[in-house]
Amino acid sequence: MYEGSSTGDHTLPDGLLKLIEYLAAPKRKPTPKPRPSYPAAPVNGSHMPHMDMTPVAEGSRNDTMKDQVWGWLNRAREHGMSEAQRDYGLDRIRERFTASGLSDREIEDCIRRTSAKLGL
């Protein structure tokens, strides 16, 4: 048989046939993510996401605090949070790291430096 022939075997190779069947199959619809079972904290009529408040072990406190402050301030900037909402999150971060044993000075320095880097 030569290319373009109307006679001969016209079956597709097994791998190609399976690929076509896979691509032609109906796609599953994405399911919505489940809502958390814990309540969000209301601030100025809107709800804030849950924040981890477990104390942080010594040796990883500064890195964890820097990451959490950066994440919170970046989220506040991207989502256009009000100053009260942003401050609420920072107060929760202060509570967490004060309970972890960091001094207020270290916490405030981290918040100040991170705010400056983000232009807040």
Q: Can you give the pLDDT of all 120 residues of the chain as single tens digits?
A: 455 566 666 677 778 878 888 888 877 776 766 655 544 555 555 556 677 777 788 888 888 888 888 888 888 888 888 888 888 888 988 888 888 888 899 889 988 998 898 887
Length of the chain, in residues: 120
118: CB partners within 8 A, 6+ apart: 70, 73, 74, 77
Fill in the amino acid letter for 31.
Answer: T
In angstroms, rounded to a whole number, what is the distance separating the alpha carbons of residues 38 and 53?
A: 13
Helices (H) and strands (E) in the chain — how many of each? 4, 2
The three-state secondary structure class of 41 is strand
What's the pTM value of the predicted model, to 2 decimals?
0.57
For the chain, what is the radius of gyration of the CA atoms?
A: 27
Least Cα distance to 51 among 27, 32, 67 occurs for: 67
